[in-house]
Structure 1
Amino acid sequence: MLEEPFNRLAKLYMDTIFRLAFHYTKSPVEADDITQEVLLKLYRTDKAFESDEHAKYWLIRVTINECKRLFQSPWHKVAPIEDYAATLAFPSEEHSALFYAVMELPKKYRVPIFLHYYENYSCEEVAQLLSIPCATVRTHLRRGRALLKTYLQEAGDYV
């Protein structure tokens, strides 16, 4: 890939790649490694993207595949979420509580919620990205929201 299009796409989607990898791994170090690996693949690709949305879709697919590859590795460790959360600045206590609640969700709920609510993908697009049926995405979103509600109510926050 030429350097100028690579730089533009890397700047545009680096945060999205990191956030998705972080939602998969719960580790900022592993999310950084995955982000670097995905950006290297972008730099090395000779794929011609039709639009920025096409490039974003490709990057998200590659990120998901890299996350899955990581979980198959015998070196995979889970770091405490509190260490990373301490480096974040939340606008309010509610945002902080929501972050912790989302990160407590099982991966099968956490990742679709991230893609749907944070990245604004439709259920159909999330299904394509995760290679699962659309009905499964809707079920995961519904169950994830129910778990979030339970977590937040147990923490004393009001939903």
Structure 2
Amino acid sequence: MGQLDKKNVFALAVERYSDTVYRAAMHNCSRAADAEDVVQDVYEKLLRYPGNFESEEHLKAWLLRVTINRCHDLTRASYQKDTELDETIPAPAQADGSVLDAVRALPDNYRDAIYLHYYEGYTAAEIGRLLGAPANTVLSWLRRGRGLLHTMLKEEIEDEVV
């Protein structure tokens, strides 16, 4: 299979990967509105992307990488803002204690590696290429992330029993 036709890339991306991009954005953003903005930004970047995609897998990987980067940009921007709290904005929904909430609480590298591996089905080598890290580093992130999840969930269960 050769390179994807430039004319059809956008339609293909929207048709096949919109749900994947939205899930990745929701996983990395604290609010649904932010995730929706990220999805819009990702597809806008795709429209302006001058390069070519070798395959659908290359397109999917590009979409996920841009999604994760944009989510990180939003997170950094929110920490840098020096604004007053707007009391009219409702608080985000409380965490429901699910495993996904625990995954979202992990540090970025662990969270991204676990999400891409367990939710999107990527191997450590593929995640390494997506995140710009050696496969062994990704394996360490996965191991440490699972360890943190185990500790977090164990403490949560013990708190409920008490």
After TM superposition, the score normalised by the length of structure 2 is 0.75
How far apart are the structure 1 equivalents of 2:60 and 2:34?
Answer: 20
Cα pair distance change 1:104/1:81, threshold 3 Å = farther
2:27 maps to which residue?
23
The CA distance in 2 between the partners of 1:140 and 1:47, in whole Å, is: 31
Gaps of 5+ in 1: 86-95
Q: How does 1:16-95 map to 2 (within 5 A)?
A: 16-73=20-77, 74-75=80-81, 80=92, 82=94
What secondary structure sits across from 2:71 in the alignment? Answer: helix
8 Å contact kept, 1:70–1:76: no
| Alpha-carbon shift at residue 29 of structure 1 (Å) | 1.7
In structure 2, what is the equivalent of residue 107 of structure 1?
Answer: 108
Computed over aligned residues only, the root mean square deviation of the Cα atoms, in angstroms, reads: 2.6
Aligned length: 144
* Aligned residues of 1:123 and 1:137 also touching (Cα < 8 A): yes
Secondary structure of residue in 2 paired with 1:23: helix
Give the match for residue 117 of structure 1. 118
2:134 corresponds in structure 1 to: 133
Deviations 1:31-78 (A, max 9, x none): 11111000111123343322211110111222233233323423499x
